[in-house]
Structure 1
Amino acid sequence: MPTGVALRDVRRQLFEAADRILLRDGPSGLTSRAVTTEAGCAKGVLHRHFEDFDAFLADFVLDRVEQLAPEAVALKSRAGTGTIAGNLTTALIAVFGSVAVAIVALITFRDGLRARLRHTWPAGVPVLTEAAEMIGGYLAAERDLGRIPAGAEVDSLAAMLIGTGHLLFADRTGASPSEETVHRMVSSVVPSSPA
């Protein structure tokens, strides 16, 4: 790419390139050269905006966590409407149909990234932890409305849904699980509404 060409929203451009590479090639294919090539910019652009590649990856992961915020609001707003299993199925497919599964693999793959993330994310795995909080908040709202039993441990249920959902979606070589498969899993984890 010629030098001196202004790039619009460099962070977004680089993060979107990282998404594509991560989904297509996995964590081992995600290098600074691959990102800048995919984004159509010079390699120096990434290093002008980030301290190093692990700093780029940490910001990338945290940006993807922030993208769950609108989904959390949307899910919580569905409390009391539709079916609980249907609402959770939609939310899990949105979370795991995104780059979330690949981000977990990326965090596991890169020691430097894990170390850097510990400064801002001291516990859990980014994306999965945020998704569990999102689902726990929704389940608490449904419990408050009486649509799940009063004694339901919503944080435990949320962790089970995220863990099982991750296992369903983790096979990047095959097709994603069907909506029916996800719904069946959700229905087996979430307790029935009281009579």
Structure 2
Amino acid sequence: MPTGVHLRDVREQLFGAAERVLLRDGPSGLTSRAVTTEAGCAKGVLHRHFTDFDGFLAEFVLDRVDRMDPQAAALREAAGTGTVVGNLTDALVAVFSSVAVAIVPLVTFRDELRARLRQAWPAGVPVLTEACVMVAGYLTAERDLGRIAADAEVDTLAATLIGTGHLLHADRTGTAPERAALHRVVTTVLAGVLRGERPGRPRVD
């Protein structure tokens, strides 16, 4: 029986391999054989540690969602500093530069994976839902500080920002949009609720 430490090592090895395959080959290329080949281990290793491949994928997706927690904490701590538009632009760049964009089509591609995820994630698409919660939490903090309007609908604003950001990044084979494009989205969406802030020109890095 493997120890807990060994199990964590195997999980991280397989999850890392799954992420690389997903980013390189897309959802259709993400098979159990592709994952174990990428990880450099026998196919049976995956099935010794997970009930089946969809069970493995469900844990992989939830692990990547959990990895958004530090980003969410950093965004909350940024409330009251810098500019609202700048902080949110940085957050969207980070979300959509990660494996998040590739996970969305994976979830929609596999019916059984969605069924497994429903056991732990009853509504919405993991990653996008978590990103909306992250942005809404930040906007709530800024609303409490008076940097956005007191009547701002933070949940609607968050969903609009994440949905638009996802549309800009939806083609994984295309060129990723520049930061300036996300800056314009944030500026436009928040135009009616910002208080005492001039968005200014976006950074080009």
Q: Decide: shared fold, TM above 0.5.
A: yes
Question: Alignment partner of 1:120: what SS?
Answer: coil
In the TM superposition, 1:28-177 aligns within 5 A as 28-177=28-177
Pairs aligned (count): 190
Asked if the contact 2:95/2:131 (under 8 Å) is kept, the reply is: yes
Q: Could you tell me how far 1:174 is from its partner in structure 2?
A: 1.2
Q: TM-score, normalised by structure 2?
A: 0.90
Report the equivalent of 2:179: 179
The 1-side partners of 2:171 and 2:86 are apart by 23
Report the equivalent of 1:188: 188
Report the equivalent of 1:26: 26
Structure 1 residues 85, 26: CA separation in 2 closer, same or farther (over 3 Å shift)?
same
Asked if the contact 2:152/2:193 (under 8 Å) is kept, the reply is: no
The CA deviation string for residues 17-74 of structure 1, in whole angstroms up to 9 with x for no partner, is 1111111100000000000000111101100010000000000000010000000000
Q: Could you tell me how far 1:193 is from its partner in structure 2?
A: 2.4
Question: Alignment partner of 2:167: what SS?
Answer: helix
Q: Could you tell me how far 1:194 is from its partner in structure 2?
A: 2.5
The 2-side partners of 1:24 and 1:186 are apart by 29
Unaligned runs of at least 5 residues, structure 2: 1-5, 197-205
The 2-side partners of 1:8 and 1:141 are apart by 36
Asked if the contact 1:85/1:186 (under 8 Å) is kept, the reply is: yes
Q: TM-score, normalised by structure 1?
A: 0.95
Asked if the contact 2:85/2:187 (under 8 Å) is kept, the reply is: yes
Asked if the contact 1:146/1:193 (under 8 Å) is kept, the reply is: no
Report the equivalent of 1:3: none
The CA deviation string for residues 117-137 of structure 1, in whole angstroms up to 9 with x for no partner, is 111111000111011000000
The 2-side partners of 1:194 and 1:25 are apart by 44
The CA deviation string for residues 68-103 of structure 1, in whole angstroms up to 9 with x for no partner, is 000000000000011111111111111111011110
Stretches of 4+ aligned residues off by more than 4 angstroms: none
